[in-house]
Amino acid sequence: MSGTVSSQPAEVQSLEKVISHKFGRPKLLEQALTHSSQARELDALKSGGERTADNEQLEFLGDAVLGLVTTEELFRRFPTFSEGQLSKLRAHLVSKNHLIRVAEQLELGRYLRLGRGEEKSGGRTKAALLVDALEAVLAAVYLDAGLETVRVLILDNIVRPQLEEFVSQGMAGRITDYKSALQERLQAESRAQPAYVLVKESGPEHQKTFTIEGRLMMSGDEKVEFTARAQASTKKAAEQDAARQVLEYLASQALLGGRGEE
């Protein structure tokens, strides 16, 4: 990397303290923080030769490493979740909306190496640039120290804090689409889809309460195996809660060794 890049060594050392990793190859971190606008400006000052490396390829690798570590943690932590539930929870944890908050907490914006145009247009606070830099930093740590080191960084800063909130504050309803998760699980087991039946509607027009039953049918039979009952201010919310109850029932049956009729 050229010695003319803008961030001071002390600032890079500060970032190393924030992420609790001292780079054996500091140029990896420099590359992870270098936006293409800065790299192309540096190239324009050269008279040919090797192009200045930016963080685009590292971002690609970091995205894959983040996905792997997140998937492994969810697989280990939620053994009773369906594939659909795990997929949707993973999608939340690696989403731009979640990663931008992590990047802001790490104050990555102050360390970015930007071209003059990006600097003037507020690049240090742009969500896309911050998320890309975060993924590139993950890749840099992975290349510098291996999977176990970057795993700790990802779990401590991206995955576990959100999962603790997910578990302690009951955020499942905001993260998981229970109806889709139930549909995917039943399809995978070649079972009939549940019936969602409106059994009661009460209250004034502007403040109604809907009671929905989610009826799970027995395999190869028209008999009802399990009925979930849920109330909410909208039919959609009541159906989601009924689907959640059915998923919990299926999980409990799996723990008990499955259904006897199969």
Q: Which residues are catalytic?
A: 63, 135
Q: How far is the C-alpha of 2 from the C-alpha of 125, rounded, in Å?
A: 25
Q: Is 235 left (phi over 0), alpha (psi -120 to 50) or beta?
A: alpha
Q: How far is the C-alpha of 88 from the C-alpha of 210, rounded, in Å?
A: 26
- What does residue 217 show for φ and ψ, rounded to 5 degrees? -90, 150
- Other CB atoms within 10 A of residue 129 CB: 22
> What's the number of CA atoms in the CB half-sphere (13 Å) around residue 147?
8
Q: How far is the C-alpha of 185 from the C-alpha of 183, rounded, in Å?
A: 6
